[in-house]
Amino acid sequence: MPSAGPAAAAASRGILLMLLAILIFTTMDALAKGLVARYPTPQVIWARFAGQLLIVMVLLGPRLIRAARTRFPGLHLLRSATQFGATALFFTALNHIGLAEATALTDTNPVLITLGAAIFLGERLSPARLIGVLGAMVGALIVIRPGSEVFSPAALLPLGAAVCFAINALVTRHIGAQESPWASMIWAAAFGTIVMSCALPLVWSPVAPSDLWRFALVGVLGAGAQLCLIRAFSLAEASVVAPFTYTGILFAGLWGALLYGEVPDRWTVIGAVVIVSAGLYVWRQETAPLRARA
């Protein structure tokens, strides 16, 4: 059984990778928001998965087929479908609500992940993890303020994305270190590319030369974020890293302000402070054994 020191070190690395994944994901989402305003949403979704598939093919080269082999084909199919669902629902939501609001609604997923990890994966539900998740959820509710105009029928789209993300996270954690992350990357990219390629001829819109780099960057960022996410869930328990997905609200608020003039109001700032505080509390509690050995 691993000692507390290595476990705490793995938790610390997992948290850092999750923070990096969320930063990259929100950067991709910010780019996607601008693209879905000018191009059909399925076309942007296709670019996200096709770009990841191309990157993986280039990086692996002749090792691609061997890396795609898996002992868990059914789980990879479920994981790929839920990743596709989360992306498709979220990108579609960006046509109807703001980036920060859509992210806040999607970031209800840590509660689902934490509870699911306890029920299905047997992870312990410590007081610190519960406090972190509930505290971050309070911060999210402050940001989105139930009863405000954020809660429209379009809000069901990011909420559906949250459910898909939670299932994806639990499956990723279950597979964990039993396989290389490349298998998950290949399966998810191939699934999304094949599905959206079927719809692409029906919706294709010519891409302006000035937007080509944006389409390409969506794929690159999606691949990088997904790799970080897989590694985070492989290193640390799902209930440890889940609260840190709430930082997406902070990053999305920043991108929304910089790129689209969506300046966060005071409630968003207050909620952000609560979210950061909850995340720091979880980090401190989970890495305490590591600091004690230093």
Is a pLDDT exceeding 60 seen at residue 58?
A: yes
pLDDT score, position 137: 82
Give the confidence band of 1 by pLDDT, cuts at 50, 70, 90. Answer: very low
pLDDT score, position 2: 46
Tokens of 129: 């993890």
DSSP one-letter string for 34-68: HHHTTS-HHHHHHHHHHHHHHHHHHHHGGGHHHHH
Give the confidence band of 17 by pLDDT, cuts at 50, 70, 90. Answer: very high
pLDDT score, position 53: 97
Which of these ranges, 31-35, 90-94, 173-177, has the smallest mean pLDDT?
173-177
Nearest alpha carbon to residue 185 among 225, 238, 239:
225
Kindly report the pTM of this predicted structure.
0.86
Q: Is-contact 43 52, C-beta < 8 A? A: no
Tokens of 201: 């001829």
Coil, strand, or helix at residue 15? helix
Helix 181-203 / helix 212-235 crossing angle, nearest 10 deg: 150
Task: Report CA-CA distances (Å) from 238 to 108, 286, 294.
Answer: 14, 12, 25
* SS percent in the chain: helix, strand, coil, step 5: 85, 0, 15
